[in-house]
Structure 1
Amino acid sequence: MGSACSSVYRNHGYVPTDEDLAMVEVGKTVREDLPQLIGRPSSAGLLEGSAWYYVGSRWEYYGARPPVEIDRQVVAVSFGETGVVENVERFGLEKGQVVVLSRRVTDTSIKGVGLVRQLLGSIGRVTAGQLVD
């Protein structure tokens, strides 16, 4: 009798928790405060002039087969011209569509949706359709 295989799950990258993000005040917190509050994006994320993108994924390892990425999230924190946080958004994928999982905004126009699609794009297929809100 062989030994039974069971899945092992590992997280890669870094996405702030909702509890950590609650410390970021839209309209008050400035870019310089973020490293102490929620950290800087890991190597999987991006530091862009107008936003910081945090990317985290969950992988399933099972026996000898190659690992499979089963979930990926992107948290986007965007800034106004003075460096004050304007938007805090969490994105994920549902049936291949980019979906907003949570959002706190001063401005409802979404910036960087194309970039969010790229950051989420390597898990499954992200369609070029509209962002599901």
Structure 2
Amino acid sequence: MGTITSGARGLALVVATIALTACSAQYRDHGYTPPPEDLAQIEVGQDTRETVRETIGAPTTEAMIDERSYYYVSSRMRQFAWRAPEEVAREVVAISFGPSGTVSNVERYGLEDGIVVPLERRVTDSGGNVGFIRQLLSRLGGFSPETFLD
């Protein structure tokens, strides 16, 4: 009466396997950064935007303000079962171009460097500290809240 059947052992083994795999980390890689041997082909002062694209491929993004940099970005995310994904590795390769259009600098940053590279910038000019209601009412025939309150 104290023996466990082979079917019960098999079921226990399956449950234990599922439990262990659910607790193991899952990794996802995103983006692309060129390997060092490809970056070594880029010559500062010689290569242009077009030759960089031909040599190492199109960038992940380009600088938004001055359009003088290419950025290649890759990251690695780790997730355990129900927990939120966590970024465990990030690499950014920044290739800057001078006014003449040739490469002026090639830099590689990692997550451990702590350098923030703004890849996207969305700034809206508020036009001062005027509230929405005040703006709306001032557009209606010169209406001012002060005259309404008097």
Could you say which TM-score interval applies, normalised by the shorter chain? Answer: 0.5 to 0.7
Equivalent residues, number:
99
Which amino acid letter does the alignment assign opposite residue 80 of structure 1?
G
* Structure 1 stretches lacking a partner, 5+ long: 99-114, 120-133
Q: CA deviation at 1:47?
A: 4.3
> Aligned to 2:54, what secondary structure does the other structure show?
helix
What RMSD in Å do the two structures reach over aligned CA positions?
Answer: 2.0
User: Which of the pair has more CA radius of gyration?
Assistant: 2
4+ residue runs of structure 1 moved beyond 4 angstroms?
none
* Structure 2 stretches lacking a partner, 5+ long: 1-14, 120-150
The equivalent residue for 1:86 is 104
TM-score, length-scaled by structure 1: 0.65
Which amino acid letter does the alignment assign opposite residue 62 of structure 1?
F
The equivalent residue for 2:38 is 20
The equivalent residue for 2:62 is 46
| Distance in structure 2 (CA, Å) of the matches to 1:63 and 1:77 | 38
Q: CA deviation at 1:62?
A: 1.9
TM-score, length-scaled by structure 2: 0.58
Identity over aligned pairs, percent: 46
Could you tell which deviates more after superposition, 58-67 or 82-91?
58-67
CA contact (8 A) 1:80 1:86 kept: yes
1:11 aligns with 2:29: yes
Task: Considering fraction of residues, name the structure with more strand.
Answer: 1
